[in-house]
A and B are shown apart, each in its own frame.
Chain A
Amino acid sequence: MAGTAVILGGAPALHRSRGVVRIEADLTTDASGVVTEFTAGEAWGRLVGIAYDGGLATSGTITVKDQKTGATLFTLTSTSGTKVYARPSTVIVDNAGTAVTAAATAPNVNRDIKVAGKVNIVVAAGGNALTGKFALIIDEAGLGTKAVNV
């Protein structure tokens, strides 16, 4: 057999639903405006909400990543003093990994972002020694509208 493929941990990772889960992070930047990437928690479901108190500097970026791969799931650019409550989504790709462009023949290309496993957060350019609160809301119970958000 050429090459290898090993399942980490020896088996697919599963998780029992906890309903709707909130992962909240109190962020404090250093003098360079950075919060080094850290593991915020585990999430197994749809990322259906984010909440942010606007505490970091304008142009500060909060990036949410899948811990194991480092892939970016969601990015929020701060406007100082502007609180944000939003429902994130992502543009789907086709089976070759190419983003599906919205068109009259392809509407509804934005779908919920799904996460499974540990989630990391990192902050850049957030201002000197500023504090902010950022929360992720994950629906592990599958409460979403069927057929549209699945």
Chain B
Amino acid sequence: MAGSAVTTVTARKGRGVVRVDIDLTCSGGAVSATPIGSYFGRLVAVLADPTAGAGATMTSTADILLTDHATGAAILSDLTFGAAAFYYRPTTNIVDNAGATVAAATTAVDVNRDIFVAGKLDIAIANATTTDTGRVTLVFEEAA
């Protein structure tokens, strides 16, 4: 066989709706990519509190970066931590079966769909200030 390929199949019994709270403490204005556990389902909510923790309030322009641990690919890249607590439901723009982004148009509606994850995830913070602290919470919907 030319080249080689080793595959790993991973599945886990669903836990229903799962919440993970992540307390962040920056060093040099950043948190390096840190594993936050394994999840198998849809990412249905992101919440954050820039005032959580004993340190200085998280810089409002700090970046929240959620990545797939194995590939390093960015799942969520929010470049504004914000000055107040927030909640949102994230989605992603679909691609076609050749990997090209499907542009929204009057002829192409509903191009934003839920983000699915499967496996270990990492979180990182960038562009904060010295030892800022804050909290990020993620909610996943796994199979019941």
A binding-site residues for B, Cβ under 8 Å: 17-30, 32, 34-36, 38, 40-42, 48-49, 51-54, 72-77, 83-91, 102-104, 106-110, 112-113, 121, 123, 126, 133-135, 137-141, 143-145, 148-149
Contacts and interface: CB of A to CB of B under 8 A. Distances in A.
Given A53-B71, A87-B92, 10 more contacts: A23-B7, A26-B5, A30-B3, A49-B115, A49-B116, A88-B94, A110-B102, A112-B113, A141-B41, A141-B144
B113 to A, nearest CB: 5
B5 A28 contact: yes
- Report the contact-size class of chain B (Cβ under 8 Å from the partner): 35 or more
B54 interface: no
Contacts of A108: 108-110
A83 B73 contact: yes
B31 to A, nearest CB: 19
10 tightest A-B CB contacts, nearest first: A35-B3, A22-B118, A141-B143, A85-B73, A19-B143, A102-B107, A53-B71, A20-B40, A83-B73, A18-B11
B96 A88 contact: yes
